[in-house]
């Protein structure tokens, strides 16, 4: 959540930033609740101090009736004020958590995805001498994708992936872990993008696929109505991305500053309700209720948080271009970056069957918005505890990138080639 001190000092700026994100927040009401809460705390502290003074005056001797009466009166007053504070604190926290993170200055102001800005393109969309098929059509013909049988046992928006498509998925996983575990590659990307960062490699993680309500809410990623499934008999949610159990990993901990940045590449099966999606999103394996994802997560000092964001974007571009896929880099507008993000970048990849670029990656810089509620801190050189900054970014959403590979590498016979960089991870196989 946002720093309430920042809200106190910049109420108009926070109201404006919230409006730019399409979030309605009553800042005046929040500040009144904040003041009420602080006033109650002061009253509670004053009564506790007075109770201590009464107790000290009566220590070592039998308390007089007047002292007993005064003590009981203060006890009653304290209980009443503590109840009032509990209610005020609950209302205050609920409203504070609705305030979004403030967008950075270079985030375009916009009211829809149409206001996102393409700032870079790479690769050239393939030209076919035939009408390109969709990945679903190719996958069905080759026996690699079966949504019909999946629907029988799980309903719509599930799929069986089979055969060489499964092998290709795990080839991508092996490729990513190999690339992100290479300090020399990390150093090259840092130098190429003029960043001042250490070349710490990414540690592979298989995180839990479920998490409790408290850490999920603290992460500012719980979206129960639109995206997330709950296990009703337990206080557990199915994660909607590996980042959700990665960013919460160090909840209530102080991370040693000399170990930062901590960089992780997590692999997890993820689950989303995908409420509100329609049309082309229903086709194939672009937007399923269950999908596998490789997600990068970074914990850093406040000073290096933005540069870590830029590194993650550079890694995304490197991964997509390594597969030989045409792509666009999008600077997301205020409306589209999301409530907890200060900045966001999307990578959109070309899909020949639709003749358009579709989102395959996102990179989110959250500053200290997550770690304030999660209480993840580090001790700075001056001895002061400060909140760390977090970044998350897609390495690959496996279903979407498999679909992009199938479509961009297809041939007239309804087969498709393996991207050259993945051939060694496929045991030398060049075509599927």
DSSP H helices, 323-368, are none
β-sheet bridge partners, residue 271: 290
**What confidence category does residue 262 fall into, taking pLDDT thresholds of 50, 70 and 90?**
very high
In this predicted structure, the answer to whether residue 277 has a pLDDT above a threshold of 60 is: no
pLDDT tens for 70-105 read 777 878 888 889 899 999 999 999 999 999 999 999
Q: What is the pLDDT of residue 75?
A: 83
Phi, psi of 6 (to 5 degrees): -65, -40
Contact 133, 353 (CB under 8 A): yes
- Considering the domain 4-96, what is its CATH architecture? Orthogonal Bundle (1.10)
- Among 216-220, 283-287, 291-295, 321-325, which stretch is predicted with the lowest mean pLDDT? 283-287
Is 1 a residue whose pLDDT tops 60? Answer: yes
The proportion of the chain whose per-residue pLDDT surpasses 70, expressed as a percent, equals 94
Residue 240 has pLDDT above 70, yes or no: yes
Q: What number does CATH give the domain 113-426?
A: 3.30.930.10
pLDDT more than 90, % of the chain = 85
Alpha-helix runs per DSSP H in 21-60: 27-58
What the block records as the tokens of 353 is 């069957």
Per-residue model confidence as pLDDT tens digits over 4-17: 999 999 999 999 99
What are the sequence ranges of the domains in the chain? 4-96, 113-426
In this predicted structure, which of 79-83, 170-174, 311-315, 376-380 has the lowest mean pLDDT? Answer: 79-83
Contact 245, 204 (CB under 8 A): no
3-class DSSP assignment, residue 289: coil
Alpha-carbon 54 to chain mean position: 52
Residue 273: pLDDT band by 50, 70, 90 thresholds? confident
**Average pLDDT across the chain, whole number:** 93
Greater confidence (55 vs 21) lies with: 21
Q: How far apart are CA 372 and CA 119, in angstroms?
A: 32
Q: What is the pLDDT of residue 276?
A: 57
- When pLDDT is cut at 50, 70 and 90, the band that residue 283 belongs to is confident
Question: Residue 151 pLDDT > 70, yes or no?
Answer: yes
pTM of the model: 0.93
User: What angle in degrees, to the nearest 10, is found between the helix axes of 27-58 and 11-20?
Assistant: 130
Main-chain phi, psi angles of 397, to 5 degrees: -85, 110
Q: How confident is the model at residue 274 (pLDDT cuts 50, 70, 90)?
A: confident
pLDDT of residue 92: 94
- Those residues whose C-beta lies under 8 Å from the C-beta of residue 384, and which sit 6 or more positions away, are none
Same-fold call for 4-96 versus 113-426? no
């Amino acid at each position: 959540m946002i720093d309430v001190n920042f809200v106190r000092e910049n109420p108009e700026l926070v109201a404006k930033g919230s409006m730019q994100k399409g979030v309605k927040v009553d800042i005046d009401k929040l500040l009144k609740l904040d003041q009420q809460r602080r006033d109650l705390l002061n009253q509670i502290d004053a009564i506790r101090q007075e109770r201590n003074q009464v107790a000290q005056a009566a220590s070592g001797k039998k308390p007089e009736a007047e002292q007993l009466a005064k003590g009981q009166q203060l006890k009653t007053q304290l209980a009443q004020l503590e109840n009032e504070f509990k209610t005020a604190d609950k209302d205050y926290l609920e409203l504070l958590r609705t305030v979004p993170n403030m967008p950075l200055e270079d985030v375009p102001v916009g009211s829809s995805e149409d206001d996102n800005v393409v700032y870079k393109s790479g690769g050239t969309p393939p030209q076919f001498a035939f009408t390109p098929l969709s990945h679903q059509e190719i996958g069905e013909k080759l026996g690699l994708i079966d949504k019909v049988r999946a629907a029988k046992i799980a309903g719509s928006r599930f799929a069986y992936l089979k055969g060489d498509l499964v092998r290709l998925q795990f080839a991508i996983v092996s490729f990513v872990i190999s690339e992100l575990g290479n300090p020399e590659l990390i150093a090259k990307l840092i130098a190429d993008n003029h960043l001042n960062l250490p070349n710490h490699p990414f540690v592979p993680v298989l995180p839990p696929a479920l998490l409790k309500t408290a850490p999920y809410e603290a992460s500012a990623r719980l979206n129960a109505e639109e995206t997330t499934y709950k296990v009703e008999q337990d206080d557990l949610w199915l994660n909607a991305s590996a980042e959700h159990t990665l960013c919460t990993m160090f909840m209530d901990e102080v991370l040693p500053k000399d170990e930062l940045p901590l960089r992780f590449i997590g692999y997890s099966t993820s689950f989303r309700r995908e409420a509100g999606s329609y049309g082309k999103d229903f086709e194939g394996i672009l937007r399923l209720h269950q999908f596998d994802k490789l997600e990068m997560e970074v914990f850093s000092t406040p000073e290096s948080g933005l540069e870590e964001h830029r590194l993650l974007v550079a890694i995304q571009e490197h991964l997509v271009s390594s597969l030989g896929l045409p792509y666009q880099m999008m600077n997301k507008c205020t409306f589209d970056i999301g409530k907890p993000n200060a900045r966001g970048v999307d990578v959109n990849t070309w899909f020949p069957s639709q003749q358009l670029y579709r989102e395959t990656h996102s990179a989110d810089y959250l500053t200290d918005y997550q770690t304030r509620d999660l209480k993840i801190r580090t001790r700075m050189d001056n001895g002061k505890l400060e909140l760390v900054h977090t970044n998350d970014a897609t390495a690959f959403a496996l279903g979407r990138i498999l679909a992009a590979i199938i479509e961009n590498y297809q041939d007239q016979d309804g087969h498709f080639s393996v991207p050259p960089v993945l051939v060694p991870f496929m045991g030398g196989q060049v075509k599927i």
